[in-house]
């Protein structure tokens, strides 16, 4: 479907993609710099956060360029008459980053090896099933039966992931420090809130009569959700890793937690 957008509508998506690129790039640099402040046994989770935002940064650059290439500015409006906008970049990104996001949470918990391996396998399979089922529905016409069928198929593994996060992982919270429990609870709720944006954005073309408004809402919605689900999620994983490191007596983590601004003496 070809779109004709006003300058404001085109710039809304353009700037949303630009914002995500900046957020992913800044997060990548931050996670690289702060990784050494976490105890060695918790650094794998921070490494995964770094990889996640790095993958997302690359794909959003491709998404941004694809959006620019898809439109031509004519007569005061942007006409979609160029190279087709490549929606597949998002799904390739999600196939790589969603399993890694779930792995971050499981690894930072430091469960037993058998439990960790079991959760990683099950959550990875569910995440891939969710994304693979979502792509055909994304490409289908908004009023087609196939969009609904594929949407339902993608929702089933999504519900299973939520079940694991809120039921099975709850059993591990009792073995965590009080501060870590609060962070883990926040992490799960943020994951739920941000991931709920994806099915809402997915179904918008079927709910909104205006295809331009539906497309704008979908692209901006996905972009905001990606920032919340990746950099923000990574920051909470980092906070958990720092709290665990501090409880274990790791000096660097304690220094960061207790650091206070100092009053510098004015130069004369």
The answer to the question of residue 154 being in a domain is yes
Instruction: Please give the Cα distance from 113 to 69 (Å, whole number).
Output: 47
The answer to the question of residue 95 being in a domain is yes
**Number of independent structural domains in the chain:** 1
The answer to the question of residue 257 being in a domain is no
How confident is the model over 183-215, as pLDDT tens digits? 877 777 877 887 788 788 777 777 788 889 988
What is the pLDDT, as a whole number, of residue 267? Answer: 45
Distance between start and end Cα atoms, the chain: 67
At 122, list the tokens: 């099950």
**What is the domain extent for residue 39?**
4-248
User: Does 161 score more than 80 pLDDT?
Assistant: yes
The answer to the question of residue 234 being in a domain is yes
CATH number of residue 65's parent domain = 1.20.1070.10
How confident is the model over 62-115, as pLDDT tens digits? 999 999 999 999 989 999 988 889 988 999 999 999 999 889 888 887 777 888
């Amino acid at each position: 479907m070809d779109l004709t957008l006003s300058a404001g509508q085109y710039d809304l998506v353009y700037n949303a993609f630009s914002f995500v690129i900046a957020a992913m790039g800044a997060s990548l640099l931050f996670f690289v710099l702060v990784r050494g402040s976490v105890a060695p046994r918790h650094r794998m989770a921070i490494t995964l956060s770094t990889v996640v935002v790095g993958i997302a940064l690359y794909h959003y650059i491709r998404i941004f360029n694809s959006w620019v290439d898809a439109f031509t500015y004519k007569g005061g409006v942007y006409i979609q008459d160029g190279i087709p906008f490549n929606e597949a970049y998002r799904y390739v990104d999600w196939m790589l980053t969603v399993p890694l996001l779930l792995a971050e949470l499981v690894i930072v918990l430091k469960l037993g090896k058998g439990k960790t391996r079991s959760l990683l396998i099950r959550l990875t399979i569910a995440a891939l099933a969710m994304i693979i089922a979502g792509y055909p529905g994304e490409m289908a016409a908004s009023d087609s039966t196939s969009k609904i069928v594929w949407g339902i198929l993608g929702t089933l593994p999504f519900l299973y992931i939520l079940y694991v996060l809120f039921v099975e992982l709850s059993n591990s919270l009792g073995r965590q420090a009080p501060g870590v429990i609060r962070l883990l609870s926040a992490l799960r709720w943020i994951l739920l809130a941000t991931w709920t944006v994806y099915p809402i954005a997915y179904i918008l073309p079927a709910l909104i009569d205006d295809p331009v408004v539906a497309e704008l809402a979908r692209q901006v919605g996905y972009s905001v959700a990606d920032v919340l689900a990746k950099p923000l999620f990574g920051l909470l994983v980092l906070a958990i890793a720092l709290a665990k490191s501090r409880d274990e007596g790791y000096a660097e983590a304690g220094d960061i937690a207790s650091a206070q601004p100092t009053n510098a003496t004015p130069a004369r």
